[in-house]
Structure formats: C-alpha cells, structure tokens
Structure 1
Amino acid sequence: MSDQLLSTQVLLNILGGYARPFDKINELRKSGHLIQVRRGLYVVGALLNGNKPELLLIANHLYGPSYVSADSALAFWGLLPERTYGVSSMCMGSSNSWNTPLGNFSYHTLPPAYYPLGVQHIQLSERQHILIASKEKALCDLIIHTKNLVLRSMDQTWNFLHDDLRIEDDEIHRLNWVLILEWALYAPKRSSLQILAKTLKQHDTGMVK
C-alpha cells in the first residue's frame, strides 16, 4: 500500500491490534514512517523504503472534486519544457491551497458547466489513476487563471504560446482548436479563448478540420 494515500480510517484498520491506535499513528508520524499530507491523510515515509504516491494523485485526493490542470498538466503532457513547481488543479469548490511536506498544491475554482469539459482519466501505474486536463483544457485553464492575461489578437496569442510558455511549434499545431471554441461558450474569459481557437486554427496543420 506504499504507493497509495492512507486515510486515518485505513490506518485504524491496519493498527486495530493496538490498544491506542491513534497514539501509534502519531508515533509513526513523528518517527518519519508516516508523512501527514493533511489532517486525516497520510503517505508512507522514506524510512519504510516505500514508493510514495505520485504528486498528481495526491493532488486529486487532497481537495476535491478536482483535476490536475494548467502548468502541471501541460508539463505532464510534455508541452512545457520545464517541470513546474508544485501542482496546479481546478476544482468546483472554493479556491484553496495546501503547503505540505511533499510540495505545494493550489486549487482554482471553475463554473460547473465548464469544469468537466476535457477532463481525462489516466492510469499512472497499476494502482494509481488520476483525473487530469487534456492538453487543450489545461491551456484554457491556464489562460483563465493567469491574472491580468487578456488575449486580444492572434499575434499576442502566438507570442504567449511560443515565447512566454515556450511550447514547441509542432505541439501548438496539434492542439484541437475546435474543442476550445466549443468550450469557450461555457468558460470565463470567453473572448480570450475564442482568440486562442482562432490563432490555433490559423496554424492548424490539417489534423483538425
């Protein structure tokens, strides 16, 4: 179970033979055998030589419903040249953030009609599955939640993709502008996403008709 997150209830079941299981949990935490991600949620510590759950999986469980998105999802799909610091996610509840021993996790709220669009279920390993934005949805979410970013022209949009985010040309050309145009109807910053779709359409290699 070292690659899974452990709730307090799961630990109580495992430690059922102890007279004071809560004290045992606290002892394991203090000794480094358990790492507390937040109240009621733990992962196995390095002292047990266990494989920790992927940070993206932790992000899904730390606060939900949520899915990994924005720069974190773009990095996962290989569109961003550098691994991002922390994990960015979208949620339906209030925006929130968690600073944990394993890293920082941020959550940004989205309207219900737009939230589920472009979310994929991905298997990371035999026992680890996550919800994560598609390439297109991650890019839309990044634009929506980048403060003061308003896309007004195709030149500005291309510079944002190519120069600011440093996404490779061939990756930009593969993005499905049709989906983005459909999603824009339900999204914040609708005009910016429509400009994004228009820019991608202009640079379409023919993979999307």
Structure 2
Amino acid sequence: MKLLNLHLVEEKLLELNIKIFTPAEFKVIFGVSKRAVQGFLNYNTKKGAFVHLRKGLYGLKRSPPNEFVLANRAYSPSYLSLDSALAYYNLIPETVYSITSVTTRPTREFKMNNLAYKYRKIKKEAFTGYEPKKIGGQIIYIAVPEKAVADFLYFVSLGKQTFNDRLKIEEINKTKLFQYLKLFKQKRLITFANRFLKNDR
C-alpha cells in the first residue's frame, strides 16, 4: 500500500498549481485507493492542512484558492456575473461582500471560507456571453461586461435584484447588450432596459 506524506502531498499540489480538488482528482494524482484518500483527507483536514470547502471539495490551507476560481468549481456549470462581475469591471463603485454567479442549475447560496457564494438560475439559451480569464495562474469564467449588465437587468426586472442607480454603462457596447438581453426572450426586459438607458442619458 502506498503511503502518503503530507509535506510531499502539499509540495506536489503546489507544483501542479492545484488549490482545489475532489477526492477523485486526488486519487488520480497520487495513485492511491479511495479508502486511503478519504482517510488521509479526513485526518489532515482535522489537523488543519486542508479545508473541507463543501461536500466533495477540498482546498489547500497553506495556499487558499482564489474566490473566483472557487466559485466556478463549487457549483457548475456557472460563470461569474452580476455584482461580482460588475465590480470586477469597475461598473459599480461598491465593494462586493459576496461572490455572485449565474448557472443553469437551481438557485443556490452557501458559505465557503466564511464568504457567501450566490448562484442565480437562468435559462440555457441565455447561458452564454462569458469568457476565460487567467487569475493567479488559474482560469476563471466570467461574464463579459455587456452580459454582466444584461444578467443584472434581467434579475432587476424580475424583482430579484436591487437596482443600482450608480451602475456605469458609458463604456458598454449597447448593441451587444441588447443582443444578450434578447436571449432571455422577455419583452418587458427589453422595455425596462430601454427605459433605463433613456434615463441614464
């Protein structure tokens, strides 16, 4: 039976730039049995070497994962959008205290590392308009500015998101914005967006 050494495990994970992993991924990386993996992770999580982020997902305590990377991994398929993406692009001035994403799965909210992660459901036809970006050597998926605004306006129109009158859209491509808004197939959303843009001028 292959024995796992905590120091060597940590070094290997850091070498591979893996800060979030599932037991199945851990098993493949280190070539040990499922039972050995579970025992090793349970023991060393209690000792403080790993963080049990949520069911089936662990993180390296020594080198915590980026919040955006964690958001993508914790509940997929999803991409960062709404307040988190708007703040990332400096389209809203406020500091954001939770990580917001959209998904095609049921709406969810949970805490990891004492930070709230919120996921809002949208229809599959509108699940687009995001792109990969590299953060800390890892890839995240985040809405492009126009899609972040479209997602935001969609949930505001449903009464599920508070309108932010300090949203800056001067640099937003309006043609692209309406292309994304039309994916939701709601006339009232287009009407709402037109009214918002008119009042913003």
Which bracket does the TM-score occupy, shorter chain normalised? Answer: 0.7 to 0.9
CA contact (8 A) 2:24 2:34 kept: no
Task: Point out where structure 1 has 5 or more consecutive residues left out of the alignment.
Answer: 151-159, 205-209
Q: Does 1:41 align with 2:57?
A: yes
Residue 20 (structure 2) aligns with? 5
Which letter does structure 2 place at the counterpart of 1:121?
Answer: P
Q: Once the 2 structures are TM-superposed, how far is the Cα of residue 178 of structure 1 from its aligned partner?
A: 0.7
SS across alignment from 1:32: coil
Distance 1:190 1:37, change over 3 A: farther
**TM-score, normalised relative to structure 1:** 0.75
Question: Alpha-carbon deviation of 1:19?
Answer: 8.0
TM-score, scaled to structure 2: 0.78
> Take 1:74 and 1:191, find their aligned partners in 2: how far apart are those partners?
22
- Residue 135 (structure 1) aligns with: 145
Question: What amino acid sits opposite 1:26 in the alignment?
Answer: N
Structure-1 residue corresponding to 2:101:
89
Paired residues of 2:23 and 2:37 also in contact (CA < 8 A): no
CA RMSD of superposed structures (Å): 2.8
Amino acid at match of 2:90: G
Residue by residue over 1:19-74, the C-alpha shift from the partner in whole angstroms, topping out at 9 and shown as x without a partner, is 843222111111211011111111111xx3x2x22111111111111100000101
Note the 1:1-209 alignment, pairs <5 A.
1-2=13-14, 3=17, 4-12=19-27, 13-14=29-30, 16=32, 20-45=36-61, 48=62, 50=63, 52-116=64-128, 118-126=129-137, 128-146=138-156, 148=159, 164-167=164-167, 171-187=168-184, 189-197=186-194, 199-200=196-197
Shift of 1:184: 2.4
Structure 1 residue runs of 4+, over 6 Å off? 201-204
- Contact 2:105 2:121 (C-alpha < 8 Å) held by counterparts: yes
The CA distance in 1 between the partners of 2:165 and 2:23, in whole Å, is 40
The Cα shift of 1:195 comes to: 4.0
Matches of 2:140 and 2:73, distance apart in 1: 9
Residues 116-135 of structure 1, C-alpha deviations (whole Å, 9 max, x = no match): 1x211111132x11111111
What are the Cα deviations for residues 149-204 of structure 1, in whole angstroms up to 9, with x where unaligned?
79xxxxxxxxx5xxx3423xxx4211111112222222165433444256547878
Q: Deviations over 1:69-100 (max 9, x none)?
A: 00010111122222211111111111112222
* Partner Cα distance (1:186, 1:20) in 2: 47
Using the alignment, how far apart are the partners of 1:84 and 1:28 within structure 2? 32
Q: Percent identity?
A: 22
Count of equivalent residues = 183
Q: Distance in 1 between matches of 2:44 and 2:152?
A: 39
Give, in whole Å, the separation in 2 of the partners of 1:95 and 1:71. 16
Asked if 1 retains the 8 angstrom alpha-carbon contact of 2:146 and 2:180, the reply is no
CA distance in 2, matches of 1:185, 1:18: 47
Matching residue of 2:3? none
